[in-house]
Structure 1
Amino acid sequence: MKSYQEYQKSTASLRQELDKIRREHAERVLQELRECIIEFGFRPEQLMPPPCTARRRAKYYNPASGATWTGRGRPPDWIRDKDFSLYLLPANADGATVSGAVAPEPLGR
């Protein structure tokens, strides 16, 4: 029966061998990708589209400080535990969402 140390050694050597094989495969895959990009004429933006940089419009406004909040993420201290509708910006008070679509009616239970 193998000892714990022997298992540790064999595990370490297997990990090294696995890492080596993975690097070899990664190099082949990368080369294949480069060839396909050239062959089919892909542009960089087709492969890796730029991240969305559009900022969300503010949905809530604090008249005391002038701070705004989009309604995403954790609510700031000035609106936490309060009625959000009191802080809605006038453009959003009619039920329109930030994107301009009309918010659906809540479902009754």
Structure 2
Amino acid sequence: MASYRELLAAREKLEAEIARARNEEAGSILEQIRAQVADYGFTVEDIFGSKRKGSQHNWTRVPVAPKYRDPQTGATWSGRGRAPLWIAGKDRAKFAI
């Protein structure tokens, strides 16, 4: 059985050989792809699909009915998101609408 250092040296040689083979094959594959794209007239959108505009969407937000009301100020809260200070840490049943 080979020693640890011998195995490391063999791995380095193998990794270098793998990188060289990948670069050679990738170059020839890329040439083939470019030739086929030129022959058939593909566009970037044909190959990769249409571009999305980030996270923009056409959703509309529907307002949520309030579930809680502060009796002193009349402020309301829907129960979603961070709780306002007037209800935080208190029994929410007292503020239910």
TM over 0.5: yes
| Unmatched runs of 5 consecutive residues or more in structure 1 | 65-77, 81-109
Instruction: Quote the Cα distance in structure 1 between the aligned partners of 2:15 and 2:31.
Output: 24
Shift of 1:38: 0.9
% identical aligned pairs: 21
Instruction: Quote the Cα distance in structure 1 between the aligned partners of 2:65 and 2:28.
Output: 60
Instruction: Quote the Cα distance in structure 1 between the aligned partners of 2:23 and 2:63.
Output: 53
- 2:73 is matched with which residue? none
Give matches, 1:8-23, under 5 Å.
8-23=8-23
- What TM-score results when the alignment is normalised by the length of structure 1? 0.52
Shift of 1:20: 0.7
Shift of 1:58: 3.2
Quickly say closer, same or farther: Cα 1:58–1:48, change in 2 above 3 A: same
Shift of 1:62: 6.0
* 2:49 maps to 1:44: no
Write the letter of the residue equivalent to 1:25.
E
Instruction: Quote the Cα distance in structure 2 between the aligned partners of 1:59 and 1:31.
Output: 49
CA RMSD of aligned residues (A): 2.7
| Unmatched runs of 5 consecutive residues or more in structure 2 | 67-78, 82-97
Give the ranges of 4+ consecutive aligned residues of structure 1 lying more than 6 Å apart after TM superposition. none
Q: 2:63 aligns with which of 36, 44, 61?
A: 61
Shift of 1:63: 7.8
